[in-house]
Amino acid sequence: MPTILITTDYLVPGDEVDHYLTGLGFTTRHDPMRGPRDPSQLIAALKDVEGALIANEPMTEHVLRNAPTLKAIVRTGVGYDSVDVDAATELGISVSNLPGINANAVAEFTIAIVLAAMRRLVPMAAGVAGGGWPRQDGFELRGKTVGLIGRGAVAQRVAVLAGAFGTNVLSTKDVALDEVLRESDVVSVHTALTDRTRNLIDAAAIAKMKPGAYLVNTARGPIVDEAALADAVRRGHLAGAALDVVSKEPLPADSVLRGVDGITVYSHMAGQTAEARRDAGIEGAKELVAALAGHPAHQIGHAALAGNPAHRIGESA
């Protein structure tokens, strides 16, 4: 039976996913991704592998061309920008993601960091830890307008949760991006990273936002121009930003986002709940088995993308 490489770091030998795959006769090889690694290491890990259940491994054209036995890749998540889908398609390698698999986890986290930003919870707690007793006013979410850049599963769930706080919700599903930027007190990004959305929130877009608004990003770092964002917060045009994703992860010591009062960066944890991880692991394994059998449910590729609205600006993958 085929060998399957598993790089998602929370999937381990002997767990539910491992038992599922080995129970079907597959051989599993665990090589968790816990930071950057040289392409040669990934190529070595893919030796004699037919299926790969991956995290954010850089599946470049070079890597894929040096994995001659590879037939299917499944991302245990939604974003698949680390995979060269064009090269995979050319080489006949099936690529799948898991749309909506962690939508609730990301939506809950989004609301949590919006509230934390508006009430300045992180600097308040840091002040107390440092021996102070800060008592600054914050802002309520009730009565505010929350603008969502995206129309997929996460954005839809955020809309429900935000509505429960008594907000007015705008979305690029219903109105133009410019209107979302212009009218919202909180702008939250939930779109896939593509050539069209890279730097979508640049200096010009930020200038259209309400003075005193907040920007939230739980999608992909490169969608936001970080230098423009830092400048807007420093100048006071924006009240702040809450970012779970950045252009380079982990956040570099010299990042323009560091040291900016009002900007809080989290460690790409929005989708990391016990429930979401379990669902992603087992559903990813099932998708990989289906892909190796020739009938994936969530294949990404030229044929699939032709009718996939995730490649319109403002759409969540």
Residue 237 and residue 126 share a domain:
yes
- 317 falls within a domain: no
Taking only the tens place, the pLDDT of each residue in 290-314 is 999 999 999 997 544 433 333 334 4
Return the pLDDT at 210.
98
Residue 18 — pLDDT band, cuts 50, 70, 90?
Answer: very high
Query: Do 256 and 111 fall into the same domain?
Result: yes
Q: Which residues are catalytic?
A: 220, 249, 268
Q: Does 242 map to a domain?
A: yes
pLDDT the model gives residue 306: 39
Q: Is residue 48 part of a domain?
A: yes
For residue 171, what is the domain's CATH number? 3.40.50.720
Q: Which of these, 186, 117, 98, 101, lies nearest to 147 by C-alpha position?
A: 186
Task: Clarify whether residues 113 and 248 are in a common domain.
Answer: yes
Are residue 154 and residue 219 in the same domain, yes or no? yes
- When divided into structural domains, the chain yields a total of 2
Residue 210 lies in domain: 103-265
Confirm whether 315 is domain-assigned: no
Specify whether 211 is located in the same domain as 286. no
Please report whether residue 179 resides in a domain: yes
Same domain, 168 and 32: no
Same domain, 182 and 256: yes
Residue 280 maps to a domain: yes
Residue 177, domain member (yes or no): yes
Model pLDDT, residue 216: 98
Say yes or no: 49 and 36 in one domain.
Answer: yes
pLDDT in tens, 235-244: 999 999 999 9
Asked if 284 and 171 sit in the same domain, the reply is: no
Q: Are 128 and 276 in contact (CB under 8 A)?
A: no
Is the pLDDT at 316 greater than 90? The verdict is no
CB distance 117 to 264 below 8 Å: yes
Supply the pTM of this predicted model.
0.89
Write the CB contacts of 205 (distance below 8 Å, at least 6 apart in sequence).
177, 181
pLDDT digits (tens, 9 = 90+) for 152-192: 999 999 999 999 999 999 999 999 999 999 999 999 999 99
User: Is 266 within 8 Å of 113 (Cβ atoms)?
Assistant: yes
